[in-house]
Structure 1
Amino acid sequence: MEPLFPRDQVRDLLKRTAVALKEGEVPFALCGGYAAWVRGAPEPDHDADFIVPAAESERAAKALADAGLQVVDPAEDWLLKVVQGEAFVDVIWRTCGRPVETDLIQRAETLPVLSVQMPVLDATDLIASKLMALDEHYCDFGRLLPVARAVREQVDWAQVSREVAENDFAVVFLALLDRLDIVPGVSPG
C-alpha cells in the first residue's frame, strides 16, 4: 500500500518534533504506530504521534513554535498538530478521554529513533492504548494484528488484559490473539 504522504517528510518531522520537545525540556514519549515500529512492527502509513502530560500541553506548544515548527490548533481539544509540507505529527495530552499522566511517560524507554534518542512508550502501555481506542467507530483488527505479533514478547499481556477488561472490542481482540496462537492464554476469563 502506498503511503498517504511522503514517508521521508513524516520521519523528518518526527525527529524535529522530538528534538524541539527535548530542547524545551518538555516530558514526552513517542507513541502510536511509530512507537510500535521502533519496537519491531511494520512502519505506519500515516502520521507520527507523541504524548505529553496534560499539564505540559501549553509548554509543548511553545517549545515547538519556538523551534520554528508550524503548530496548528485543530478543533479537537486534546491535541495539537505540527505540520510540515504534507506531513503532520500529533502531540496528544488526552488519550481515550483520560489526561496523559507523567507516570506513563516515566515508564517510556529511551531508544534511538531515526538517529535521535527519545523516550518511546512502553510496549505494554502502547498495546493497552491501542486496544482502548477500539470502539464501534474504529475496530480494525487487521491493522492491530501485525503490531501485536511484532511486540508480543515485550508486552505484559496479563496487565493489558486487566487494563482493557471493560472494553468489549479489546477483549475480543485478546481472544483472537489467543485463538490464533499469537499470544496463547491471553484471553480474559
Structure 2
Amino acid sequence: MQPSEREEIRDLLKRTAVALKQSDVPFALCGGYAAWVRGAPEPHHDADFLVPEAESERAVKVLADAGLEIQDPPEDWLTKVVSGTSIVDVLWRTCGHPVETDLIDRAENLPVLSVLMPVLTATDIVVTKLMALDEHYCDFSRELPVARALREQVDWAEVRRAVADNPFAAVFLELLDRLDVVPRAGAT
C-alpha cells in the first residue's frame, strides 16, 4: 500500500467513525484495523465496522447524510463507504449471523488515529476472523500475525468454545498450539 493510499483509508475510517459516533449509531471497529489498534500489523486492504442489524438502515442514512459516498454491493449484509480507491465496509451480519448489540457493547473505547471509538475486544476480533475461515477462504498467513500480536490479550478458552464447530478454525488453533503461540487446550 502506497503512503497516499494508507492516508486515504485512514481518513475514510475516521470520517466513517465520526459520522456514526455523532449520530449515536452503535458501532465498533472490527477486522484488520481493530487488530492493528491492539498491536497487529496494519492491514493492506479495507477497514471494517460492525453495526447491529436493527440499526443498519439508520447507519446507511447517517453515512450518506454526512456526505460520504455509499455503494450498495449485491450482498445484503453490508454497505460500502468509498473514497478514491479506499473502502470501509459497514457490516450488520458477520459469519452468517446478525450483529447483536452485546458484541458492540463488549467493545472498548480506544483512540484510533486520534478519534476515540469502540473497538472489538481482542477475543472477539480473533473469533470473528476465525469464524470467517471456510473452504473458500482459508488463508492462515493473514491470521497468524494477528494471533501472535494479540495472544496475551485473548481469552483462548473462549475462542476455542466459540469456534468449536468450525473445522478450519479448529485446525488453525492446532497450528497455534504446535507453534507455541498460545497455551495448549486444557493447559493452565
Aligned 8 A contact 1:177 1:186 in 2: no
**Correspondence for 1:124:** 123
Alignment partner of 1:80: what SS?
A: strand
Number of residues of Structure 1 aligned to a counterpart in Structure 2: 187
TM-score of the aligned structures, taking structure 2 as reference length:
0.96
- The aligned amino acid for 2:41 is P
**Correspondence for 1:84:** 83
- The aligned amino acid for 2:27 is F
**Correspondence for 1:62:** 61
Separation in structure 2 between the aligned mates of residue 187 and residue 100 of structure 1, nearest angstrom: 30
- The aligned amino acid for 2:48 is D
Alignment partner of 2:110: what SS?
A: strand
Question: Could you tell me how far 1:7 is from its partner in structure 2?
Answer: 0.9
Change (3 A) 1:178 1:84: same
Question: Could you tell me how far 1:87 is from its partner in structure 2?
Answer: 0.5
Separation in structure 2 between the aligned mates of residue 131 and residue 187 of structure 1, nearest angstrom: 20
Separation in structure 1 between the aligned mates of residue 128 and residue 107 of structure 2, nearest angstrom: 13
Aligned 8 A contact 1:178 1:187 in 2: no
**Correspondence for 2:158:** 159
- The aligned amino acid for 1:43 is E
Question: Could you tell me how far 1:186 is from its partner in structure 2?
Answer: 3.5
Alignment partner of 1:6: what SS?
A: helix
Separation in structure 1 between the aligned mates of residue 102 and residue 57 of structure 2, nearest angstrom: 19
TM-score of the aligned structures, taking structure 1 as reference length:
0.96
Gaps of 5+ in 1: none
Alignment partner of 1:151: what SS?
A: helix
**Correspondence for 2:14:** 15
Question: Could you tell me how far 1:187 is from its partner in structure 2?
Answer: 7.8
Matches within 5 A, 1:39-50: 39-50=38-49
Separation in structure 2 between the aligned mates of residue 14 and residue 20 of structure 1, nearest angstrom: 10
Matches within 5 A, 1:94-109: 94-109=93-108
**Correspondence for 1:136:** 135
